Amino acid sequence: MNVLLIGGGASTHALAWKLLDDSRVYRVYCAPGNGATSLMAHNVPYRPDRPKDLALWAWEQGIEMTLVVDDVALADGVIEAFRTMGLDILAPEGKLVDACASRSLARALFARRAVPTLPGHTASDLVTLEHLIADKPWPLRLRPDNAYTSNWTAVAHDATAARQAAQSILSDLAGTPGVTPSILVEEAVPGIELGASAFVMGADVGPVALSFTQHHLDDGALGPYTDGLGAYSPPRVGLPDDLAARIRVEGIEPLAKTLDYRGILHLDVLLTPEGKWLTLGLRATLGDPEAQVVLPRLDGSLLDALRGVPGPWRAEATCGVVLSAEGYPSINETYAPITGLDTLDPGVLVFQGGTSLPRRGPDFSLGFSPLVATGGRVLTVVGRGDSYAEARAHAYANAERIRFQGRHYRTDIAARELIIT
């Protein structure tokens, strides 16, 4: 079988790695892919403004299954282009597309299906914001309503802080093509934010895998809020033993019955100190870095899982440490040789995001380095073990061996789990 993945980050690399572990998968293509997928799979050009070109290429190549990995591609018209050509593409449509793109529309969908959620209201300007916050209890959390733009969030304890946060969000969104600047305002309920992922086939839902992403740039949840500087799976400290089962029955199953979708459903959930769980958002794919720590725990074939016959999740612990480039999370392109990838221990996984093959030419040489860091979240080093102490030890011992200019990583990924291992 020939499979196409539309995406370019480390989650695309993780999916390609898992697919190629199946002897039935002959070839994996990635559009546009990255440095790692150019070596293990086949990268193909992708222009977001030309989705029909990719669909025609897929038809000519006999692609039998296409999976949209990067959420932003859902807005490119690629789904319609592929379905017009009669191609099998695992991607949401209708209400699910809207709910994936808008946090407020997702909350409305959850409410209609009686899925536990946190009510939110939107504001597209400061005047509307003033009316929203006039009778709300503090603190409040503000996020961009468009889920494809950023996971950036701010907690405001008074009106002045709320106005400042709103102005920052609206200013950041103002220059984003195709995005109407809008803010989701919600009560800042305390708790633990988790990811819950399952493979679905219509109303049938497979077992749920939980993950925990650490978003801040620096140790101790300090520094800028990012899309994730590390993750681990499954989180255990402070979680009820039946949480995954409850999210499956009370959340993912009602949504699956409504959406009639085949593929991956991922919920962002909040577990409150009282033990209640609330759904904050959803995606129709595995995100980055969640994919890098969840997929290694899948026992069995990813191809079967995508066809509606998922295997169970292994009980092992996975710890993923993200190595970011200098200047992240600012948009800052780099071109730094990566060394140390040939010194890693057996069983340790490295999934690549911001990498490429080096430029060739008489005036540029990387010595023995086969890859360069191009910016952003460059690599995710994943350690595995029966305990988090073991998984963390593997991840950090190998992360330290990988070097590139400006390399940065947190040293406390999954540290909160050590109190029970």
CA distance 87 to 12: 20
What's 22's domain CATH number? 3.40.50.20
Looking at residue 280, its amino acid is L
Residues 279, 214 within the same domain: yes
Could you list the residue range(s) of the whole structural domain that residue 149 is in?
119-187
What are the C-alpha distances in Å from 221 to residues 141, 248, 286? 16, 29, 23
For the four alpha carbons of 47, 53, 58 and 61, in that order, the dihedral sign comes to negative
Residues 329, 387 within the same domain: yes
Residues 330, 404 within the same domain: yes
Q: Which of 32, 43, 37, 46 has its CA nearest to residue 16?
A: 37
Q: What is the CA radius of gyration of the chain?
A: 21
**Is residue 112 in a domain?**
no
**Is residue 18 in a domain?**
yes
**Residue 278 · residue 117 · CB < 8 Å:** yes
Q: What is the pLDDT of residue 360?
A: 56
Residues 245, 296 within the same domain: yes
CA distance 30 to 24: 18
Asked which of 162, 187, 212 is the last residue of a domain, the reply is 187
Asked which of 187, 216, 233 is the last residue of a domain, the reply is 187
Give me the number of domains the chain comprises: 4
The rounded Cα 400 to chain-centroid distance in angstroms is 24
What's 375's domain CATH number? 3.90.600.10
Residues 171, 202 within the same domain: no
Asked which of 292, 309, 326 is the last residue of a domain, the reply is 309
Q: Which of 349, 346, 341, 285 has its CA nearest to residue 320?
A: 349
Model confidence, pTM: 0.93
CA distance 386 to 129: 48
**Is residue 97 in a domain?**
no
**Is residue 104 in a domain?**
no
Residues 82, 126 within the same domain: no
**Residue 293 · residue 384 · CB < 8 Å:** no
**Is residue 410 in a domain?**
yes
Q: What is the pLDDT of residue 366?
A: 39
Residue 305 bridge partners (DSSP): none
Residues 241, 342 within the same domain: no
**Is residue 353 in a domain?**
yes
What are the C-alpha distances in Å from 334 to residues 43, 322, 373? 21, 16, 6
Q: Which of 297, 289, 315, 296 has its CA nearest to residue 410?
A: 289
**Is residue 258 in a domain?**
yes
Residues 363, 270 within the same domain: no
What's 223's domain CATH number? 3.30.470.20
Query: What tokens does 382 get?
Result: 């994943």
**Is residue 193 in a domain?**
no
CA distance 189 to 272: 7
**Residue 3 · residue 62 · CB < 8 Å:** no
CA distance 348 to 391: 9
* Burial (CB count <10 Å: 0-12, 13-18, 19+), residue 80: middle
Strand stretches in 74-203, DSSP E: 89-90, 120-123, 140-144, 154-156, 183-187, 192-201
What's 125's domain CATH number? 3.30.1490.20
Query: What tokens does 283 get?
Result: 């995606």
Residues 268, 288 within the same domain: yes
Residues 232, 280 within the same domain: yes
The HSE-up count of residue 12 (CA atoms within 13 Å, CB side) is 33
Residues 278, 323 within the same domain: no
Residues 222, 301 within the same domain: yes
pLDDT tens, position by position, for the chain (421 residues)?
A: 999 999 999 999 999 999 999 999 999 999 999 999 998 999 999 998 899 999 999 999 999 999 999 877 776 788 899 999 999 999 888 888 889 889 999 999 999 999 999 989 999 999 999 999 998 899 999 999 988 877 778 899 999 999 999 998 898 888 777 778 899 999 999 999 999 999 999 999 999 999 999 999 999 999 998 999 999 999 999 999 999 999 999 999 999 999 989 999 999 999 999 999 999 999 999 989 999 999 999 999 999 999 999 999 999 999 999 999 999 998 778 889 999 999 999 999 999 999 998 765 434 433 445 789 999 999 999 999 999 999 999 999 999 999 999 999 999 999 999 975 4
> Is residue 244 helix, strand or coil?
helix
